[in-house]
Chains A and B, each alone.
Chain A
Amino acid sequence: MYQNNDKISISQITSILILTLVGTGILTLPQALAEEAATNGWIIIIVGTLSALLVAFLHSYIVKSFPGKGLFEILEATLGKPVAHIIGAIFSLYFIVINSFLLRIFGEVVKMFLLFRTPIEVIMFFMLATNIYLVRRGIETLARLAELLLPLILIPSLVLFLLTIQGTDFSNLLPVFQLSVGDIIKALPIVFFSFLGFDLILVFGRFVKPEKNISKAMAISILVVGLLYVFLNTITLARFGVEQTVHLIWPTLTIFKTIEFPGLFIENVEAIVMVLWVFIVFMSMAPLFLGATITLSNSMNIREHGFLALPLIPIIYFISLFPDSVTEAYYYLDYFTKFIATSIIVIIPLIIAMVIVFKRGIRKEDQGA
């Protein structure tokens, strides 16, 4: 009967999107922004949020124009079958690459904070294996997990951040408004990377019921994440100041090391933070992984997406181990977001949307004639 009807609600897609977005940016955003914009990072975040919103509306417009259709079917209907196969493959490759970056950074962090002597390969492999288990369970399980974990992740994280306020100095946030338009545009891709993942709606859109609320889900998740980033950035800057933030690889994690509970028996909250961190990255990787397998199976005409999960492991594994160091990984990541990711999530959807509008125009003319 209703074993797996593959339907997810608006609140579930919102939870998925929020968790996906948070995982990509939470670690490095404050550091990158401090480097680019010093104390004016929050302005860039706000501008970035607004521009992400614009792109998100473009995406939801596309999804809503094809209710019940997946990414591949949308591409097929707008750009034709051969192009659809290619772009479908590019999209899944794009998901795979982001996933690989996330995995690499995750492995490095776990190695640095938790398991000093365990090889990073082992850490990464078990994370991937856990991902596979979820991917094979499908979208409904992911949606339920996201809705379950969202409060379990967000509330403790916010509480932890509030605890760090103790040692903050808000004069670190000054001066403000020292950016030219050119500076903002230059720094925008950094923020944009922190929002990568909302393009998953193109893949997951067809499972969402009712479709008409998709743009609402997108708007809520991007705004929530934008707010979180502003909060995060402010606290980090206030705690460390620009000079120190620039020199930290992962300021967001370092900040927790400074927490002191007066009189409580827990002296450091690292254990809690690391568990949260595993959950956050997992909830960021798993949707991307699922998106990759679904898109790939569609463009390869394989009915069951679960079969593709295993063959993807070595690919992701290889890509994530490709950079020699964290610095190199971030270097590649920078290029990837600036050029490839931006074109995939902005330019391709723009073309699709134009085709849709164009075709509608033709249909209207036909009806008018």
Chain B
Amino acid sequence: MGLWDKLFSKGNKNQDGLKVHKNIDKNLQAIKDILTDASDVVYREIKVGDELDYKAVLIYVDGMADRILLNKFVLTNLMISTRITDERPISKEEVPKLIKERVIAVSETKEVDTIDDAVLNILSGETVLLLDGYEKIVIVASKGWPARGVSDPVTESVIRGPRDGFTETLRVNTVLIRRRIRDPRLKTKPYQLGVRSKTDVAVFYIEDIVEKNLLEEANKRLKQIEIDAILESGIVEQFIEDNWISLFPQTQYTERPDVVAAALYEGKVAIVVDNSPFVLLIPATFNSLMQSAEDYYERWAIATAIRFLRYLAVFISLTAPSLYVALTSFHPQMIPVKLALALAANRQGVPFPSIVEALLMEATIEILREAGVRLPKPIGATIGIVGGLVIGQAAVEAGLVAPLMVIVVAVTAISSFAIPSYNVSIAFRLLRFIFIFAAGFLGLYGISLVGLLLLIHLCSLKSFGTPYLSPFVVFIDNISDLKDSIIKAPAIALSNRPSTANRGQKNRMDDKRPEDFGKGEK
């Protein structure tokens, strides 16, 4: 609290906790006072019954509430069915109860005590029903706005595996998760974050698999978020991560419900944020960021080979240009003679030292890549051809860069695409430039030192208490974790959950249910 509190409590202090009045007109006026100048809010005043002339008001935001549902199951019933039914209330006091229990044919209703809560519900897409002489306000669940349907996850496409991806609607996303875990111990804890945006956030975990400390820490950090608006899970991520200086993401994001389900089964915690198709998974380790969902659906030996390939890609994308710089300008004696001669012939007309050459080409390709992301899809492909082929070819022919440099840059760029997590790959993209500078300054020695610094940094990182480089940094104690790291052991061999999960639920293949579960079913 503190600053935000002071800033925002000023405006709505009077309404804060304003109780619902018995008089319907006062309530209506109070809501209208708060929602002034809101042309999209609809107030529908109706009279219920034929004798009592009972007044009721329906309030909702146009477009956010499901109008067909309101017409068919709320208004029709209130206005028409109440006239033709035999059941008649004896007194005016009985009417609200009767309406709630017998008239509104909607699956979910609830009641609130304060005007503020009612307004929040209106703004969330629910419909508020004011009833005369009733000191509570009835909320009719009517959320229904135009939403994007479940579609292919764009950033994480796989060849084999489910094709449904998260959308921008929290409820759709929770359904996608729930459908994969029919376990009563899958728990979800709701939050509303953002002082103004009141964004719905749901924390998912499987009660007995999750490590208690992790859950507590996640809840603690979420509660500490103080901001006016949460627009995307990326903002939540920046508020809950351990080290905000680091280049490396300390939470994992995914668009795939199957990845979330798998993570939950491994004792991780998932944070679903409304308006974002990206679900956060904590804790994240470097290892988990280097995995793809497909690894688990394909043959294990192939998955292992592909994982080796990815780590190789990391190495190439980090060091290829810097190695080129170091070897050509500092240590030509380390290159085999024939290659060194070819290289020298190659570079003969190049007017720059190799570090300038490398920086030039790397900068070009980064600009190309950025341009490609922003452009509409059909033009993006053109940019690739123009940039990649034409500029590369022309630069070589103009004698500005050596042909080998073009190859190195191209291989580097392709390698960085082979890293499954985009947020890791951009970290490496930036680090690549540091490596190039180090190589230009101290050659191979500089590369080794920067490599060491990078390793030290990665070793010092923790994500919610889990070392970022685990299982590689604690492998002797958790040797079975290595079976799902660079190597992907056959599914049968992966009988243990990773050590991040609760120790009591280590075995995943012989998961005995607790003894009190399902008792008395005989």
Indicate if A188 sits at the interface (CB-CB under 8 A). no
Indicate if A2 sits at the interface (CB-CB under 8 A). yes
Shortest beta-carbon distance, A250 to chain B, in Å? 17
Contacts of B336 in A (CB 8 A): 265-268
Complex Cα spacing A138 to B473, Å = 15
Does more than half of chain B's interface fall in helix, strand or loop, or is it mixed? helix
Indicate if A133 sits at the interface (CB-CB under 8 A). yes
Shortest beta-carbon distance, A283 to chain B, in Å? 9
Complex Cα spacing A268 to B444, Å = 15
Indicate if B352 sits at the interface (CB-CB under 8 A). no
Inter-subunit contact B453/A275 (CB<8 Å): no
Contact with A along B241-252 (1 / 0, CB 8 A): 010000000000
Indicate if B448 sits at the interface (CB-CB under 8 A). yes
Contacts of A359 in B (CB 8 A): none
Complex Cα spacing A149 to B451, Å = 12
**Interface of B toward A, CB cutoff 8 Å:** 213, 216-217, 220, 242, 327, 330-331, 333-334, 336-337, 339, 442-449, 451-453, 455-457, 459-460, 462, 465, 467, 469, 472-477
A-B contact count (CB 8 A): 100
Complex Cα spacing A303 to B83, Å = 81
Given contacts A130-B452, A271-B331, contact A110 B472 (CB under 8 A): no
What are 27 inter-chain pairs, A to B, with CB distance below 8 A?
A1-B220, A2-B213, A2-B465, A3-B242, A9-B474, A9-B476, A9-B477, A11-B474, A11-B476, A110-B445, A122-B442, A134-B456, A141-B456, A141-B459, A144-B467, A144-B469, A145-B455, A147-B473, A147-B476, A148-B473, A271-B331, A274-B444, A275-B448, A278-B445, A278-B448, A278-B449, A279-B448
Shortest 7 CB-CB distances between A and B: which pairs?
Answer: A11-B476, A144-B473, A278-B448, A141-B460, A267-B336, A144-B459, A137-B460
Q: Give the residue of B330, B442, B449, B455 whose beta carbon is less than 8 angstroms from that of A148.
A: B455
Contacts of A133 in B (CB 8 A): 453, 456-457
Shortest beta-carbon distance, A274 to chain B, in Å? 6
Q: Give the residue of A118, A130, A145 whose beta carbon is less than 8 angstroms from that of B473.
A: A145
Given contacts A267-B336, A268-B334, A271-B334, contact A282 B452 (CB under 8 A): yes
Contacts of A11 in B (CB 8 A): 474, 476-477
Shortest beta-carbon distance, A212 to chain B, in Å? 16
Q: Give the residue of B445, B462, B473 whose beta carbon is less than 8 angstroms from that of A274.
A: B445
Of all chain A residues, the one with the shortest Cβ separation from B476 is A11
Shortest beta-carbon distance, A26 to chain B, in Å? 17
Q: Give the residue of A12, A270, A278 whose beta carbon is less than 8 angstroms from that of B452.
A: A278
Complex Cα spacing A224 to B266, Å = 36
Q: Give the residue of A126, A141, A145, A267 whose beta carbon is less than 8 angstroms from that of B449.
A: A126
Contacts of A268 in B (CB 8 A): 334, 336
Complex Cα spacing A263 to B457, Å = 39
Does more than half of chain A's interface fall in helix, strand or loop, or is it mixed? helix
Complex Cα spacing A3 to B442, Å = 35
Contacts of B445 in A (CB 8 A): 110, 114-115, 123, 126, 274, 278
Of all chain B residues, the one with the shortest Cβ separation from A116 is B330
Indicate if A308 sits at the interface (CB-CB under 8 A). no
Shortest beta-carbon distance, A11 to chain B, in Å? 3
Contacts of A274 in B (CB 8 A): 444-445, 448
Indicate if A127 sits at the interface (CB-CB under 8 A). yes
Contacts of A267 in B (CB 8 A): 336-337
Given contacts A115-B330, A144-B473, A279-B448, contact A137 B455 (CB under 8 A): no
Q: Give the residue of A1, A138, A147, A149 whose beta carbon is less than 8 angstroms from that of B213.
A: A1
Complex Cα spacing A126 to B445, Å = 10
Complex Cα spacing A141 to B446, Å = 21
Contact with B along A138-162 (1 / 0, CB 8 A): 1011011101110000000000000
Q: Give the residue of B333, B337, B449 whose beta carbon is less than 8 angstroms from that of A127.
A: B449
Shortest beta-carbon distance, A273 to chain B, in Å? 10
Inter-subunit contact B472/A126 (CB<8 Å): no
Of all chain A residues, the one with the shortest Cβ separation from B475 is A147
Contacts of A12 in B (CB 8 A): 474
Of all chain B residues, the one with the shortest Cβ separation from A264 is B336
Of all chain B residues, the one with the shortest Cβ separation from A111 is B445
Contacts of B476 in A (CB 8 A): 9, 11, 147
Q: Give the residue of A137, A145, A148, A271 whose beta carbon is less than 8 angstroms from that of B444.
A: A271
Complex Cα spacing A115 to B339, Å = 21
Shortest beta-carbon distance, B64 to chain A, in Å? 39
Inter-subunit contact B473/A270 (CB<8 Å): no
Which residues of chain A from 1 to 59 have a CB within 8 Å of any chain B CB? 1-3, 9, 11-12
Contacts of B477 in A (CB 8 A): 9, 11
Complex Cα spacing A118 to B242, Å = 39
